[in-house]
Structure formats: structure tokens, C-alpha cells
Structure 1
């Protein structure tokens, strides 16, 4: 599957590795539980315009 140029992978805020979640320019996430398969931790994030903010 080819990734569009307007899609980006979400990186884990703790270890910096790729997660299994992709964002598009128009994606809005509020209080999203992001799980990292590498470090096995979960972070609560908000995302808008490819900008990710860690809540907890």
C-alpha cells in the first residue's frame, strides 16, 4: 500500500518510534489513546494539522 504525500505516521512521544497510526492534514484527534508497539506504553494525545500535543 502506497502512502500518500499528505499522510504522516504518528511517532511515539516517549521513544520516538513509529506507531500504527497515520494522520492526514484534515485529521482531528482529541484525547486519543496512542499505543506504542515498541515501548508498550500508552499516551493521551491531541492532534491537529500534523501537530501533536501530549496530554498525559
Structure 2
């Protein structure tokens, strides 16, 4: 029997161009400082994810 939580999942969209990435998250997924790579625009962005909410981490300027 499948868990109800595992049915709720979404594709992670690229914060730069808005296209679908190769990653999916479920409602119980927690990501911290995750390097999200977009195959379309070829950019890498650090994100946090919790309860299907994605937050972009702004990197400090060096």
C-alpha cells in the first residue's frame, strides 16, 4: 500500500529560466544548500526545499 505523502510530488523548476530540471521533490523532502543544476540554461543555483516550497540561497559576493 502506497503512502499518501509519496503521491504529492512536483518537479523542481529552475529559478533562472523557469524550465523543468531533472529533480523532483515530495511533500516530505527537505533539502538544505542543494546545488540545483538546470540542463537548459546550464546554471547552478543553491536552493533549500521544505514542504514543497523552494527558497533560492543568495551567495555572498566574493
Residues in 2 aligned to 1:29 and 1:54: alpha-carbon distance in whole angstroms: 11
Q: Going by fraction, where is helix more abundant, 1 or 2?
A: 2
TM-score, normalising length from structure 1? 0.89
Find 1:30's aligned residue among 26, 29, 32: 32
Aligned pairs, number: 53
Ranges of 4+ aligned residues in structure 1 off by more than 2 Å: none
Bigger proportion of residues as strand: 1
Shift of 1:45: 0.1
- TM-score, structure 2 as length reference: 0.81
- DSSP-derived class of the 1:34 partner: strand
Larger Rg: 2
SS of the residue aligned with 1:45?
A: strand
Structure 2 unaligned runs (5+)? 1-5
Gap regions ≥5 residues in structure 1: none
